[in-house]
Chains A and B, each alone.
Chain A
Amino acid sequence: MKETSAQLVKFFQENTLWQFFSRTWDREEAISGILGGLETLFRGETIPRESLLEKAFYADAVVTKQQLSAKFPWLGTLGAVELSDVFAEVKAELTDIVITKSKNEELSAELY
């Protein structure tokens, strides 16, 4: 993993709670929704805010973008392809930590 991506993973691990939602499907949904929204916002595009869930992803993404922009100004200099590469790496690593290789035995429980 690139150093830039590792910095972002460390930030997400330390600062966000959505990656730790209760079950695998919750975590997958949040990681995809919020990281996807972040990448879109960094590309300068808008993300949909029609449904309540889209609004929730937007809220997390837009505030996290403010934090990331202040802490990692280099993010604002990346082109679309580079952004895509960075966020793909971050998504893969977060997924590995909190889902694929997570030792949390409750992640696959069928009921909440």
Chain B
Amino acid sequence: MPLTLLKCDESIPSRQQHVYIKAAGEDSRDALPLANTDTIPGTLSERGCSFCGAKLVIGGVLKDTIQIIHGPVGCAYDTWHTKRYPSDNDNFQLKYAWSTNVKEKNVVFGAEKLLKQTMIEAFQEMPDIKRMIVYTTCTTALIGDDPKAVAKAVLAELPDVDIFVVECPGFAGVSQSKGHHVLNIGWINDKVGTLEPEIWSDYTINFIGDYNIQGDTFVLADYFKRMGIQVIAHFTGNETYDALRTMHRAQLNVVNCARSAGYIANELKKRYGIPRMDIDSWGFEYCQVALRKIGAYFGIEDRAEKLIAEEVAKYKAKLDWYKERLAGKKVCIWTGGPRLWHWTKALEDDLGMKVVGMSSKFGHQEDFEKVIARGDDGAVYINDGNELEFFEVLEMVKPDMVLTGPRVGALVKKLHLPYINGHAYHNGPYMGFVGSLNMARDMYNAINSPLMKLAAIDLREAA
């Protein structure tokens, strides 16, 4: 079937280029939705802003770094509390938010003095923290502040600190994806190669594109430790600023989220000759394949097999219990982009579920090539979906549950459909073997909870 115009989109026909229903025998040569393009006027996008992509998704995860948000205070709040990425140092990055709290007078007279004062004050208030990222926002970009010049002035006064500046205001791109890009390229240009790591293993990797949502990184770090592999830098879950400066010394880039961090993997290959190995760190079967490939790369296949055997013995029977009960259940995945292709086949292969609809907020066409290759016939694939489209697709495919974020989740709940938080998880981690089991448990509980059915009863009528 070609790209499809949903009924709700009849007044904005250009949305047809963003919706695809896969027919049997088709592949991405036949149709590929537009993606990473401007949101069309008339559609209510669920996207985030480009600043958010840099700060909330990637930079803000670092566990030892002051994150100065140069803008109105709301920009700080909205990129502080909505992701749950813990750390092993008592969650420093979740406890604090920093903002220059720009006001109208700063817009009129400039905010560089305010920025400098805030940066110095932050270092003084937290004398044990010596690393900082400064982000511009829409307001301070528009008034022409020069945060790199300010950072230089601060460095002259505080020579024992290091500062990275991300100039990516919210309007820099069409979605949060631009923020991923700007931070990736800025980091490799400014910081990679400026520090040497201490190497303790013959087997070194960078793990790229995992942000320790509810402890994903802890799961993966445990696997690599058991295999004797040193993670030079984890981009950026539970990681330090300085570790990311040493990424040039790894022997392999293992990439999970290719959308948010494929850029730095490509640049590390181009500039330092470190190859890129893309894997799925979600999914029970996928994890086995990923660990085998990493083991084969280093010639430590025996360690990979031992780890896999231990994990399979621990979790497979429990996963199969859920598989018996989840088989045939229909799911929609409405997340950012990569989770569509990471999850669709994993849910089908591991649990026998059927993914019937997928929507991406910030994916590129590369993501749609992947998900069309992996996804089922008959499934609906949407780029930058809006609420009316969601309602129409839900009516069309009638899922048993939806994997999505709290915003769309609230919409779904109004229809008395269960949703599981596909961004920050319900009860994660969801990566690795244990993560697959956690995800299956959460989906089982959501589908079988009586709550949604009870919520649909009008007590006035019952009385």
**Chain A: residues with CB nearer than 8 A to chain B?**
13-15, 17-18, 20-23, 26, 52-53, 55-56, 58-60, 62-63, 66-67, 96-98, 101-106, 112
Residue contact B365 to A103, C-beta cutoff 8 Å: yes
Please name all residues of chain A whose beta carbon is closer than 8 Å to the beta carbon of B227 when the two chains form the complex.
none
Which residues from 195 to 218 on chain B have a C-beta closer than 8 Å to any C-beta of chain A? none
Residue contact A63 to B293, C-beta cutoff 8 Å: yes
User: How far apart are A5's CB and chain B's nearest CB, in angstroms?
Assistant: 14
Given contacts A20-B366, A59-B277, A104-B366, A13 and B27 within 8 Å (CB-CB): yes
Residue contact B267 to A58, C-beta cutoff 8 Å: no
Which one of B126-134, B367-375, B415-423 is at the interface? B367-375
Please name all residues of chain B whose beta carbon is closer than 8 Å to the beta carbon of A101 when the two chains form the complex.
29
Residue contact B370 to A20, C-beta cutoff 8 Å: yes
Please name all residues of chain B whose beta carbon is closer than 8 Å to the beta carbon of A20 when the two chains form the complex.
258, 278, 366, 369-370, 373
Q: Which residue of A lies closest to B372 (CB)?
A: A13
Q: Which residue of B lies closest to A105 (CB)?
A: B365
Residue contact A97 to B27, C-beta cutoff 8 Å: yes
Residue contact A56 to B277, C-beta cutoff 8 Å: yes
Q: Per DSSP, are chain B's interface residues mostly helix, strand or loop, or mixed?
A: helix
Residue contact B365 to A104, C-beta cutoff 8 Å: yes
Given pairs A22-B262, A22-B266, 20 additional interface contacts (CB within 8 A): A17-B258, A20-B258, A20-B369, A26-B266, A52-B252, A52-B273, A53-B273, A53-B275, A55-B297, A59-B277, A59-B293, A59-B294, A59-B296, A97-B28, A97-B29, A98-B28, A102-B369, A103-B29, A104-B369, A112-B266
Q: Please report the C-alpha to C-alpha distance between residue A89 and residue B194 in the assembled complex, in whole angstroms.
A: 46
The one of B28, B274, B369 that contacts A52, using a Cβ cutoff of 8 Å = B274
Residue contact A106 to B289, C-beta cutoff 8 Å: no
Residue contact A67 to B365, C-beta cutoff 8 Å: no
Q: Please report the C-alpha to C-alpha distance between residue A105 and residue B383 in the assembled complex, in whole angstroms.
A: 15
Given contacts A17-B279, A22-B366, A58-B297, A104 and B266 within 8 Å (CB-CB): no
Q: Is B345 among interface residues, defined by CB-CB distance under 8 A?
A: yes
Please name all residues of chain A whose beta carbon is closer than 8 Å to the beta carbon of B279 when the two chains form the complex.
17
Please name all residues of chain B whose beta carbon is closer than 8 Å to the beta carbon of A21 when the two chains form the complex.
276, 278
Q: Which residue of A lies closest to B370 (CB)?
A: A20
Which residues from 249 to 306 on chain B have a C-beta closer than 8 Å to any C-beta of chain A? 251-252, 258, 262-263, 266-267, 270, 273-280, 289, 292-294, 296-298
Residue contact A104 to B296, C-beta cutoff 8 Å: no
Given contacts A62-B296, A97-B29, A106-B364, A14 and B266 within 8 Å (CB-CB): no
Please name all residues of chain B whose beta carbon is closer than 8 Å to the beta carbon of A18 when the two chains form the complex.
278
Q: Is B151 among interface residues, defined by CB-CB distance under 8 A?
A: no
The one of A15, A56, A97, A112 that contacts B252, using a Cβ cutoff of 8 Å = A56
User: How far apart are B172's CB and chain A's nearest CB, in angstroms?
Assistant: 16
Q: Please report the C-alpha to C-alpha distance between residue A52 and residue B31 in the assembled complex, in whole angstroms.
A: 36
Residue contact B28 to A102, C-beta cutoff 8 Å: yes
Please name all residues of chain A whose beta carbon is closer than 8 Å to the beta carbon of B276 when the two chains form the complex.
21, 56
User: How far apart are A65's CB and chain B's nearest CB, in angstroms?
Assistant: 10
Please name all residues of chain B whose beta carbon is closer than 8 Å to the beta carbon of A96 when the two chains form the complex.
29
Residue contact B292 to A52, C-beta cutoff 8 Å: no
Please name all residues of chain B whose beta carbon is closer than 8 Å to the beta carbon of A59 when the two chains form the complex.
277, 293-294, 296-297
Q: Is B32 among interface residues, defined by CB-CB distance under 8 A?
A: yes
Q: Please report the C-alpha to C-alpha distance between residue A96 and residue B274 in the assembled complex, in whole angstroms.
A: 27
User: How far apart are A89's CB and chain B's nearest CB, in angstroms?
Assistant: 16
Residue contact B275 to A56, C-beta cutoff 8 Å: yes
Pairs across A and B, CB under 8 Å, 24 listed: A13-B374, A17-B370, A20-B278, A20-B369, A22-B258, A22-B366, A55-B252, A55-B275, A55-B297, A55-B298, A56-B252, A56-B276, A59-B277, A60-B277, A63-B292, A102-B32, A102-B369, A103-B29, A103-B31, A103-B32, A104-B28, A104-B32, A104-B369, A112-B266
Q: Please report the C-alpha to C-alpha distance between residue A17 and residue B341 in the assembled complex, in whole angstroms.
A: 10
Please name all residues of chain A whose beta carbon is closer than 8 Å to the beta carbon of B274 when the two chains form the complex.
52
Residue contact B370 to A106, C-beta cutoff 8 Å: no
Please name all residues of chain B whose beta carbon is closer than 8 Å to the beta carbon of A60 when the two chains form the complex.
277, 293
Residue contact B29 to A67, C-beta cutoff 8 Å: no
Interface-central residue, A52, A66, A105, by most chain B CB under 10 Å: A52
User: How far apart are A15's CB and chain B's nearest CB, in angstroms?
Assistant: 8
Residue contact A63 to B289, C-beta cutoff 8 Å: yes
Please name all residues of chain A whose beta carbon is closer than 8 Å to the beta carbon of B262 when the two chains form the complex.
22, 112
Please name all residues of chain B whose beta carbon is closer than 8 Å to the beta carbon of A63 when the two chains form the complex.
289, 292-293, 296
Q: Which residue of A lies closest to B181 (CB)?
A: A112
User: How far apart are A91's CB and chain B's nearest CB, in angstroms?
Assistant: 16
8 closest residue pairs by CB, A with B: A56-B275, A17-B278, A59-B297, A103-B32, A59-B296, A13-B373, A104-B365, A112-B266
Given contacts A52-B275, A56-B277, A59-B293, A14 and B29 within 8 Å (CB-CB): no
Interface-central residue, A14, A21, A63, by most chain B CB under 10 Å: A63
Q: Please report the C-alpha to C-alpha distance between residue A20 and residue B340 in the assembled complex, in whole angstroms.
A: 15
